[in-house]
Structure 1
Amino acid sequence: MPFGHRRNRIDRSLRERGVPPEPQQREREELATDGPWDQADAPADGLPRVDLGALRVPALKGTELRVDVNQQQQVVGATLRAGESLLQLSVFAAPRAGGLWDEIRVELAKSASGQGASLTEVEGPFGTELAGTVLVQQPAQPGQPPAKPVRRPARFLGVDGPRWFLRGMISGPAAAPGEDARLLEEAFRAVVVVRGSGPMPVRDPLPLTLPPQAAEQLARRQAAGPRPPGGPARPAGPGSAG
């Protein structure tokens, strides 16, 4: 069944009043989606997408895709760059009933506040989102002590899909409304999530993989020796702001 990102706002309002949503109303809103997409409802739009397993990331003109790996060389996320702005994508298992974004917004705001930054709820093109600042760890320079984190503008987008939750963090100039934001918003809207049918604990990251060519390049780099230290820190989970 198709889903709708506007469901976040409606369900939240109903829960606050203690009223469960009408099944007919939920289905009507779910049919209103225009992305991001579940695999079952992905449009035949001819848009090229990079297959990363649980994520199919659009290859839009003006964007550059970087796949993020951890120290164990496991894929943990994907980042789209557009100019000086970034869109970091993460996808997680979620309950059938949805509503995970409501919980995660609270956790993200608390996490940012505890680090000396600030995130507040605003209404955006994907429903309720968070906007403000987060702390970003700077790469360490060889022979120098670790650099202090810096405060950066950021937006967090969230969509509850069928048993999955997609989170996007936009940083840089696109964290403010305008032309810079529109390209990365378009990219987020065109993402397709491949959840799979197997059971998974709620909030566990959905498995991501490298395309064959990228996997071969990574294998060659590993054979050549370790990379120099540094690089952006990845959030530990869906409710981590930095």
Structure 2
Amino acid sequence: MVFSRGRGRGRHAQDGPADLESREQEVVPEPMIGPYDVADAPSGVRRLDLGSLRIPAIEGVEVRVQANPEGVIQQVVLANRGSALQLGVFAAPRTDGIWDEVRAEISESLRRDGASVQETAGEYGPELRATVRTPDGGHTELRFVGVDGPRWMVRGLFQGPAAVDPAAAGPLADALRGLVVDRGQEAKPVREPLPLRLPKELAEQAGGATAAPARPAADTGPG
């Protein structure tokens, strides 16, 4: 938890009634936003447990997963009102984040393919906005967001209205802020995707289908 420090006088200064009220407000918790590491995640939140990712239940957000017959997930997409957020989570070094170099590589790759790319400042720092050609000759807008955590990185790809206007992301942005990453303790190569799996009951329901909607389950703590 992050606290803000009051600008009061020394702790032994004589206080009047107004000073006492000021002292009560001296230390105020500041809200934190995710994605959270599993060790720091708020408790009492309903989340869908996909292994390395735990996705909060947000009203209006549909979770779509693409999985193989063994329940191993290849793709996670959140959808809301014509916008989508594709999520990926990757291993990172213990000390340095990797979003800067990943962002540069995404930008270079997009430009090579003829896309128009611009780096802008967003809620989590530098992000990319791109206009890319579609197979039918049209264009679509993309917005890439990256968040470096302790030994992990989350990459989000917004499409639809949320790619053009971050204010339109609404519930999708809330889902990203409430995301929890369970990196695990195993050593993994940098940039390797962290494992994602359907919960057992959902894997059985999917019955080998390549895609299935996912429902959040209760998750009362970070462990």
TM bucket, shorter chain: 0.7 to 0.9
CA distance in 2, matches of 1:150, 1:199: 43
CA distance in 2, matches of 1:88, 1:212: 22
3-state DSSP of counterpart to 1:175:
helix
CA RMSD across the alignment: 2.6
CA distance in 1, matches of 2:209, 2:169: 34
- TM-score using structure 1 length: 0.69
Instruction: Tell me the equivalent position of 1:122.
Output: 120
Aligned residues: 184
3-state DSSP of counterpart to 1:34:
coil
8 A contact 2:70–2:203 mirrored in 1 = no
Q: Give unpaired runs (5+ residues) of structure 2.
A: 3-29, 212-223
Q: Kindly, what percent of the aligned residue pairs are identical? A: 46
Q: Offset at 1:220?
A: 5.4
CA distance in 1, matches of 2:62, 2:141: 20
3-state DSSP of counterpart to 2:146:
strand
Instruction: Tell me the equivalent position of 1:68.
Output: 66
Instruction: Tell me the equivalent position of 2:176.
Output: 188
Which has more helix, going by share of residues? Answer: 1
CA distance in 2, matches of 1:195, 1:80: 21
Q: Offset at 1:32?
A: 8.4
Between the two structures, name the one with larger relative contact order (CA 8 Å, sep ≥ 6): 2
3-state DSSP of counterpart to 1:61:
coil
CA distance in 1, matches of 2:133, 2:57: 28
- Runs of 4+ with deviation above 4 angstroms: 70-73, 147-150
Matched, 1:172 2:160: yes
Matched, 1:103 2:104: no
Written as runs of structure 1 = structure 2, the 5 A alignment for 1:18-37 is 33-37=32-36
Relative distance call for 1:67 and 1:195 in structure 2 (3 A) is: same
Q: Give unpaired runs (5+ residues) of structure 1.
A: 4-30, 137-146, 228-242
Q: Offset at 1:135?
A: 4.8
CA distance in 2, matches of 1:221, 1:101: 33
CA distance in 2, matches of 1:202, 1:178: 29
Q: Offset at 1:119?
A: 2.2
Instruction: Tell me the equivalent position of 2:146.
Output: 158
CA distance in 2, matches of 1:149, 1:219: 37
CA distance in 1, matches of 2:53, 2:168: 23
CA distance in 1, matches of 2:86, 2:111: 20
Which has more strand, going by share of residues? Answer: 2
